[in-house]
Amino acid sequence: MKLPNPRSAASNQGRVRPGPGSERCLDALQLARIEKALRARADSSRRPDLAHSRRRVFLIFLLIRYTGARLNEVLRLEPAHDFDPKKRTVRFRKGSGSTYRDVQIPEAVSAEIQRILTLLGPRDEKRRALELDPAHVRRKFYELAEAVGLPRELGAPEVIRRSRAVELMQGNVPLPVVQRILGHSTPNLAAAYVNFSEEDTRRAEAFFVDRENRRKTSARNAFFGKIEAIRKGDIQASVEIATPGGYRIRTVITHDSLKRLGLKPGGLVAAEVKAPWVTVHRSANDLECSADNVFEGTVERVVSGRVTSEIVVRIGDGTEICSVLTAESLKALALRPADKAWVAFSAFTVVLQAD
């Protein structure tokens, strides 16, 4: 069910790939605790000079937290020029040249950054808002981590950057998109029959950041890709989607939906699958089913419940696929983290979203 050689493409992406034995990072709740503490300290100080200093540290945290940028990249920013509140983007320049990358941020974060910059003062002050000693920033981050009950070392800017990468990947953001956000060189996507341009990658980033900001969908599993082929039948049409990680997803939709969404080969779409529609199998020999989408992977985590449980399987490109099943089914599978497993779902369970 894959495009040729997806594992060879995934092998180059280990730098941002979370998994067993990876370096420690913060989860979303821990990041939120630090963010809340920084905001409270900045807004509660009655001394103008202290409030000003704390707001600058808070601004740096927000930029690393939501862009995954390196500390030195953030300290080089000129907010008045590199932050665009209308487009909700932050521009990181490489050295003194014209090479740059724009990273999108959630709407609420963009508004928070704009609020802080307004409080910092006039335009000239905004240009100097991030000119802080790196050692001072690190020291404050360490102090905040300890203040909220976390180990000191988990407040390091590198940990916050790594945590953002893990957060994005757990949200099924395609690996090439995560790498572009973090400023890594993207892997060779020759494993796919279609090519993903820089603009395609940015649109993928926009979709997932917007999804993260809204969180209105109940679907746990989201993929992004390019339409490779459309085969029309008498009543319905089969749509094949190639993902940046080198996988193919098949879905079946009505002709009316095909027309309404304006789907064409080469177009970009998002595909979502609810967790209860995903089945999990211990071996390839168990795959005696009619599912059109079957992927091999490794069990990432297992959450047991009295009535229902869930299994999360990470496939070759780092994408996590979640399945919700009964407690009895989980017991029968007897799967544990790091076990090999296969996940499957029907083409009829895939819901497409287009621009």
Tokens at 287, concatenated: 């795959």
Q: What is the pLDDT of residue 194?
A: 46
Q: What is the pLDDT of residue 123?
A: 58
Q: What is the pLDDT of residue 212?
A: 62
**Which residues on adjacent β-strands are paired with residue 253?**
237
Q: What is the DSSP string of 283-318?
A: SGGG--S--SEEEEEEEEEEE--SSEEEEEEEETTS
Which segments in the chain show pLDDT lower than 70?
1-23, 95-97, 123-127, 185-198, 201-202, 208, 210-219, 286-289, 355
186 closest CA partner among 176, 194, 174, 178: 176
Q: How many CB atoms lie within 10 A of CB 164?
A: 23
Largest CA distance in the chain: 72
89 closest CA partner among 13, 176, 189, 180: 180
Q: What is the pLDDT of residue 235?
A: 86
Residue 315 zone, left/alpha/beta (φ > 0; ψ -120 to 50; rest):
beta
DSSP state of 342: E
pLDDT, tens only, 82-111: 999 999 999 998 766 678 889 989 888 999
Amino acid letter, residue 113: I
321 closest CA partner among 187, 218, 171, 208: 171
Q: What is the DSSP string of 239-257?
A: EEEE-TTSBEEEEEEEHHH
Q: Which domains does the chain have, with CATH numbers?
A: 27-149 (1.10.443.10), 273-346 (2.40.50.100)
DSSP reduced 3-state for 228? strand
Q: What is the pLDDT of residue 57?
A: 95
30 closest CA partner among 21, 38, 22: 38
Tokens at 184, concatenated: 């890594």
106 closest CA partner among 52, 30, 168: 168
Q: First and final CA of the chain: distance in angstroms? A: 26
Q: What is the pLDDT of residue 17?
A: 45
Q: What is the pLDDT of residue 348?
A: 94
DSSP reduced 3-state for 162? helix
Alpha carbon distance 205, 98 (integer Å):
22
Measured in residues, the chain has a length of 355
DSSP state of 81: H
Distances (CA, A) of 120 to 115, 117, 124, 134: 9, 5, 10, 19
62 closest CA partner among 117, 131, 7: 117
Q: Which ranges of the chain does DSSP label H, i.e. alpha helix? A: 6-10, 28-44, 48-67, 71-75, 79-82, 107-120, 123-127, 134-147, 157-170, 175-182, 198-214, 255-261, 327-333
pLDDT, tens only, 174-202: 777 788 888 876 554 433 434 566 677 66
Alpha carbon distance 90, 82 (integer Å):
6
Q: For the chain, what percent of residues have pLDDT higher than 70?
A: 81
